[in-house]
Amino acid sequence: MRSTHSGYTRLSKVHKISAAGLGAAGAAAVAFAMVSGGPAAADVQSVGVKPVAFDAKSFKTDADQGELAKQADEAAAQAKAQVQQKTDRAGEQAASRSTERKPVKAAAPAPKAYGNDLDGWINQALDIMRAKGIPGSYEGIKRNVLRESTGNPQAINDWDVNAVNGVPSKGLLQIIDPTFKAFHVDGTSWDIYDPVANIVASCNYAAKTYGSMDNVNSAY
């Protein structure tokens, strides 16, 4: 006879067979224990074991399973969306930090080194002269330096007409104090014996008077 229980009618054939088998097995076990009269029978009787009622609601229908699958999909989609939101925020923050960073200024180049000798003095003087637009060449400067002072920055002429007049010629290119001060170039020392300052001021004077130190071949 078919049961009128609403849940039972939805059970599959396999479920029905399994439930029937479990019920039969349980009944057989109880009957055996009671017939044998052993401790098991007493235990069964004392605890009042009742047949386990079958609950058809414990089995999920196809509709229930579909609803669970739908909920699982929605939960997975929400989790994925949250992860994406966190990733987007992290990217925006990184971009913001990158924009806020100020560009790093390039380090200033190290100053050019010059030797503390005639070659170094002439090359340093030439760099200053180029920046100031004063003409002159390495060869023209060196030729006049060797003739005027033999390369001694402390040389002083104490016998010519300038010396007689109280303004002796001084330094590498034997320039007098009034001329040195008049043609002194900004950025150089005011010491007439400073080799670089002496060369630059003398070349500035020669450029105004002779066009360039290269055009000077004797006392000037």
- The 10s digit of each residue's pLDDT in 31-87 is 334 434 444 444 434 444 444 444 444 445 666 677 777 887 888 888 888 888 888
135-171 pLDDT tens trace: 999 999 999 999 999 999 999 999 999 999 999 999 9
**pLDDT tens track for 91-105:** 777 766 666 666 677
Q: Report helix angle 118-132 to 195-210, nearest 10.
A: 50
Strand stretches in the chain, DSSP E: none
CB 175 within 8 A of CB 169: yes
The reported pTM is: 0.54
Nearest by Cα to 178 from 195, 192, 159, 189: 192
d(CA 70, CA 77): 11
Amino acid at 69: A
**SS3 letters for 142-189?**
HHHHHHHHCCCCCCECCCCHHHHCCCCCECCCCECHHHHHHCCCCCCC
Asked if 23 and 51 count as a contact pair (C-beta separation under 8 A), the reply is yes
What are residue 156's DSSP bridge partners? 170
pLDDT value at residue 140? 98
